[in-house]
Structure 1
Amino acid sequence: MKVVIAPDSFKESLQADEVAKAIQAGFMSIFPKAEYHLLPIADGGEGTVKALVSAHKGSIESISVTGPLGNPVEAKIAFSNGGKTAFIEMAEACGLHLVPLNRRNPMHTTSFGVGELMRHALDQGASELIIGVGGSSTNDGGVGMASALGYEFFDEQGKPVEGTGKDLFRITSLSDLNRDRRLDSMKITVAADVENPLTGLNGATYIYGPQKGLPETMLNEMDQAMGSFYQIAGSHMGTDVSSLPGSGAGGGMGAGLLLFTGAQLKKGIDLVLEHLKVKEVCHDADIVIVGEGKMDGQTIYGKAPAGVAKCAPRKAKVIAICGSVGEGTEALYEHGFDAIFPTIPAMRPIEEILGGAYANIERTSRNVAALLQNGRDGSNG
């Protein structure tokens, strides 16, 4: 029996490779002789760099950049192809995990550190950049990133702004006179973890603002500020990117990279699946196991579990093991999923749930394997 285990990370608790090991441990207690293939996955968010580097046998280094709250953080950047290709993960510089729970509010966070990582790639001589834009704490439309690359943004008095989410309310003009001209010769591919547009009820602010700490009362105002800023910026740059699928990824970072760096947008999960050759590994699998921290109706829109499910052969059972289940998961059964199993055993403090993730995943996986074993025994009897 061939079992392919290809989960995404469980945000703020376990990285994708740790989730894969926990699932394997649970299954091996029931199926010790099965053939296991572990493929930790990412979809443009947390873990994307690690997944891509493993596929290309690249090297990873850490540098100090500006964190989401303005304080220095250590962020990883990877290189392959003799240093010509660089891999950056937005979450390394301004991820939600870098902001304490009591300080989460995208009005006060910046993506400036992402631009610093890009500048470092340029300084090292990279000519190609792949950047994952999921898992951020920001909703600044990429203004922070663009500021680090030499763009300047001004309020109505002509004073420069810092580049946080609240600055979208103040910007009335911008200048690209000092932009880093090396961007013109760099190929930049954006690995987006979602397909959401920039604004509207399905846009960056309404869908992802609340989980980043944006008060519900600010959703409409923030969405309008984002739209107004991109009208100004789009007019200045001579193009409109706000309606493109994926432009809302990373709190508008998708749109920012498209507009300010000339990047191309690609579904993060498609990029990772291609580089890791997931379809080839899955072609003769009997069981394909996917997972992430939370699964809901949004999972089918460019998220890792849905992407992996598409790679499974028709005969394989596709099983999802996740932290929790949200609204709309019934739609997943129409997209290749056979069953979905949450791992949280009881209502407990969030710290306990996150700390016990490995054990919860291993236990749930063992129970799923036992259920499958009973089914196999029944079919053989």
Structure 2
Amino acid sequence: MSLKIAAESWPKPPLETVQSMNEAVVVREYDEERHKIAVEKMESLCEVGQKGKPSLVTDLMGDPICRIRHFPIHIMLVAEYGEEGEVVGVIRGCVKTVARGSSVYVKVAYLLGLRVSPTRRRLGIGAKLVEHLEEWCEQKGAKYAYIATDYTNEPSINLFTKKFGYSKFRTLTMLVQPVHAHYKPITSSITVIRLPPCLSRSIYNRLLSNSEFHPKDIDLILSNKLNLGTFMAIPKRYLSKWDPKTGIIPPNFAMLSVWNTKEVFKLQVKGVSPLTQTFCAGTRILDSWVPCLRLPSFPDVFKPFGVYFLYGLHMEGKNSRVLMRSLCEFVHNMAKDDDGCGAVVTELGQRDPVREAVPHWSKFSWAEDVWCIKKLDKCEPLDWIISGSSSPVIFVDPRDF
């Protein structure tokens, strides 16, 4: 996603230009009244993608800091250049406590949204922003820092692995299911139950605390206004025998939670020819006229759209894949009823067994989202980077997305 760390190549300036630029650049904390308009303008110039080719553009909703304000500990830094304080760069970061496996928790920092003005690149501004943010994260007690980027983004990966000492750590898969004009059918033998936040928290802590990056403040996520609920699919024959108030988990189930990103950002595909747009619109019209055919119509991604993000996916028991698929179709139908929601998205570890059960379009999905990590506290006795993981599950915090 373009919200994550991005970097682009740029012709190298003379050494003396770099030195003078560094002296004239000041990094300071974001101030809404002072920086909001300038940051929005600069970020609009940093769209990801090559000229003449389709690109995915991100439009943050509201204040630029809204991307991270759902974390209790967060900051946004801007780089100013010259006497007039021209905003030439920005980076966001947050600190949280997560599991690194076996229910062992550690404080980590998440770095995201690094942007440098296209006219000021290759002048050391990005490096200065990263250094200041890492220092702030260490002051807040972070033992590790990590970033996420697409595996094709070599400039970004090289920047962090070669210049800042990050290591490639985990590779995840992003699965995307477009929202169609028709409802998805749910097997009549399956029922979907909405779980209360207190029960959801209890189940997640029981089942997923051994997974990597399981957030210690899961209760804050489940009670957040952007969380649309936690849902469990079970066979209907269990309905009369199982009382969710007891906290006992049924032997055959699938569960997940839904996060609404529409209030944080919207996406839009640009750079597509009018002919392609017309063809895609035709598939949607035909799909709406003859919904019984259930045609795989191409969604309208050429205007801003929001997404539902699925997290905390877990399944157990016989036919659990069918239950998980039905649960995903249930969320698809929720999204269909929400005007402006164009896709249902989730991100999973490549060894997560849930991957095979999640419906998605391969043409929209991508297989390798790379997470790079760095040990900030050199006195930390255990090294998460080299210790490996006993769990195939990586809990993706919806606030990171």
Give the TM-score, by structure 2 length. 0.26
Structure (1 or 2) with the greater helix fraction: 1
Decide which structure has greater strand share: 2
Normalising by structure 1, we get a TM-score of 0.27
